[in-house]
Structure 1
Amino acid sequence: METALKALLRERHLHEYLEFVAEYRRIARDLGLPRGAEPPTKATYYRWLSGQIRELPRGYHCLVLEQMFTGWTAKELFARAEPRRGRTADSGLLASIPPAVDPAHLAGLWVTAFIFDNLHHVDLTTITIANNAVTARNSPPAPRTEGHAVGFHNDINFSLFGRHLIGQWRNTSDRYFYGTIHLAVLPGETVLDGFHTAVLTDTQVTTGPWRWVRVEPRSAHGIDLTAVTLGDPRRLYNVIAAHGHYGPPIPLAQLTEESR
């Protein structure tokens, strides 16, 4: 029976040495490990996968691996056992895919933008983590949608599989529109990039890009969001769409009407 580490790496498409090393270095950098904390050699790596080790690797190796596979201890990763399910059966077919990022790292305020029925929409959405559930709500401040006096208010429930947030959303403004959402968590956890599907009519489904960028936390500290007015939806949509995949969080001041 293979080790849990080998099975999980295969699920994440990180089984090849060079792919593993790239992910290892990214996590080590995020953890602030010293330069001497290098990935294992190729020979050592494949010895890990074979299960032919008598004791756990060095402490920093274990730290990186436990961050790479949140919820697993180093001892569990090197054990010869079937990967445990990180979720209940309610998660269905994807239940065996563990999160590749700590959900707590996604909590906080984000600016999001999408196009629905050819209309640009922008909002500030707060992601909340409670009892391992990931939820999101996009007010306050009031969301803005082109051509609408009242923007779309959405509630979202997510599940995290690998580096992908997959969930369902519902418009609470009128209770009619609803759909699905699939976002990739880009390295650095400041940009979420993906798509939505939506009910357009009882017999029509539409889809489009949905992009999220983290709002710089200090810029929103102490701000009464109920008093904030977001900028023009089309302008902000273009700003968010042009934001680099690995760019920094966006200051709140750049998202308001006064930031023109």
Structure 2
Amino acid sequence: MRLLGVHGVSKAFANGVLAVGDVSLDILAGEFVSVLGPSGCGKSTLLRLIAGLIEPTTGIIERDGGGQPGDLGFVFQEPTLMPWASALANVALPLKLKGVARSEREGRAAEALAKVGLGGFERSYPRELSGGMKMRVSLARALAVGPRLMLMDEPFAALDEITRHRLNSDLLELWQRTGVTIVFVTHSVFESVFLSQRILVMSSRPGRIAAELAVEAPYPRDELFRTSPEYGAFCRTASTRLGEVLAA
């Protein structure tokens, strides 16, 4: 079942920059889709258009099943946590803004923290957490609203390789456990192949979907997959397609 449809969407900013040009794509319920492309190609702009944070200049974005922007969670490049608030309070914030009663929102926030492996850290403050733990709090905050669609904008790009690999694995486990649909922006070929069922390759600005690659490898995917010939072959294919798009 289709969850989201993007039809001929473009975005031009007031300074005249055309960031996204004539993008069309469909996202199916339960999919894990990565949007791969170089820095500055409009990946983040596309994600914000899907989220309803900015409006398209032209084109239509359809959320099937009556879905509204509030039915999604957004994980940004930085954790964007309130430094004066505990992990529990940070995760509960969107529920508080929705008017959810305190007892319910704290329960849902604690449950979301447990899902991302931070059970027992509810009362910890951001200054007491590592970079990877802060990003887990950000992920829990997005999960707490019970989204149908999760939009993730290069959330692990600033982390060290070991932490990034661990969070990639944990994210896949969470995706399989919850069934949430994920659209994941990255400029890493290796990350996109490890995570995704489909990779959408964006061209340089103005960004458009110039190629699509299916990663037909079974889940669960673990470190053995990451070192397998199959993974290497998919990475070479994705890198080749990206190179062809950028050279066009």
Q: TM-score, normalised by structure 1?
A: 0.25
Question: Counting helix residues as a fraction of each chain, which structure ranks higher?
Answer: 2
Question: Counting strand residues as a fraction of each chain, which structure ranks higher?
Answer: 1
Q: TM-score, normalised by structure 2?
A: 0.26
